[in-house]
């Protein structure tokens, strides 16, 4: 039987990272989970610790890391506004210094490296849906800039290493993702609504709720990450990964109320600064390159996420 790969996952105890670690272990890979536990949680990977192919390393990737691995997934960075705005300088350092350190490791090892970028590189878009060729409309000095511009700079670094050092890179732009292992206090739309509904609190909708998002279930996203890493076509991306089905924020709130059976009310609050009005990925390239598209129906994914929060709150 062929030996699995030794894979490094930064941010491996986070929401998406923990699911990726499980997916890699399930196919027989050896997984090194790296996390500084700023937003990642030990409970997300606690059940994996008994697996002899899994190890956890507490480390901040703004400092160099030395390891021997075959592949690197760089997912480390707080991804919700509450956390990335709490220490914006550290957020930028994680995206930029972290990218430099992980690229340096990949260069030494000649290992392929995947960068988890974000749909936030498009900012508040003037083009809808967003295609990878769109350069975006981002405020470089606003409260969200630490994350938006940090991820944009990380993409720049990845493509410069690709051109200058012939490094095997993959860059994916992740759109709104949801599912088990989300933090209840991360300020994201789905977790906010579910937690508020289960606690009998008012559901907080910012603006009038007409702004749109496209929500992808985490298992679908992880499948795309693995396919992108293992793709040998030499296409570095960037590649949009997300669900092209668009929903308004108000629709999501109403669906969560119905699925939870909650008697909570919906209340409206002012829209945050630089909050994008529309977010919908064009995934034509992902369909063509990876043969991938999301398969989980929104209501099915929401039910699984609601069950997770019922058990964890």
Catalytic residues: 147
What distance in Å separates the CA atoms of residue 251 and residue 273, rounded to the nearest whole number?
A: 22
How are beta strands 247-248 and 212-213 bridged, if at all?
antiparallel
Q: Which two tokens stand for residue 202?
A: 């008012």
Helices 88-109 and 145-165, interaxial angle, to 10°?
A: 20
| φ, ψ at 271 (rounded to 5°) | -70, 135
Residue 287 dihedral angles phi and psi, to the nearest 5°: -60, -45
């Amino acid at each position: 039987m062929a030996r699995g790969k030794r894979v490094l996952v930064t941010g491996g105890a986070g929401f998406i990272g923990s699911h990726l670690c499980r997916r890699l272990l399930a196919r027989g890979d050896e997984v090194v989970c790296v996390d500084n536990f700023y937003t990642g949680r030990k409970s997300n990977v606690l059940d994996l610790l008994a697996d002899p192919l899994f190890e956890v390393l507490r480390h901040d990737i703004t400092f160099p890391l030395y390891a021997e691995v075959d592949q690197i997934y760089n997912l480390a960075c707080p991804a919700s506004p509450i956390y990335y705005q709490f220490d914006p300088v550290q957020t930028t350092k994680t995206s930029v210094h972290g990218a430099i350190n992980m690229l340096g490791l990949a260069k030494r090892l000649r290992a392929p490296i995947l960068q988890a970028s974000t749909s936030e590189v498009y900012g508040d878009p003037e083009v809808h849906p967003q295609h990878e060729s769109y350069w975006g409309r981002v405020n470089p000095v606003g409260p969200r800039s630490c994350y938006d511009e940090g991820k944009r700079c990380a993409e720049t670094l990845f493509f410069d290493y690709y051109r200058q050092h012939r490094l095997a890179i993959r860059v994916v732009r992740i759109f709104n993702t949801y599912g088990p292992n989300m933090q209840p206090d991360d300020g994201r739309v789905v977790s906010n609504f579910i937690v508020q509904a289960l606690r009998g609190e008012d559901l907080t909708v910012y603006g009038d709720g007409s702004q749109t998002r496209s929500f992808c279930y985490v298992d679908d996203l992880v499948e795309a990450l693995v396919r992108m890493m293992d793709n040998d076509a030499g296409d570095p991306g960037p590649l949009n990964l997300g669900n092209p089905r668009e929903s308004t924020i108000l629709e999501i709130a109403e669906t969560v109320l119905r699925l939870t059976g909650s008697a909570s009310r919906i209340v409206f609050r002012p829209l945050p600064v630089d909050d994008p009005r529309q977010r919908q990925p064009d995934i034509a390239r992902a369909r063509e390159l990876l043969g991938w598209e999301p398969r989980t129906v929104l209501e099915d994914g929401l039910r699984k996420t609601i069950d997770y929060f019922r058990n964890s709150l």
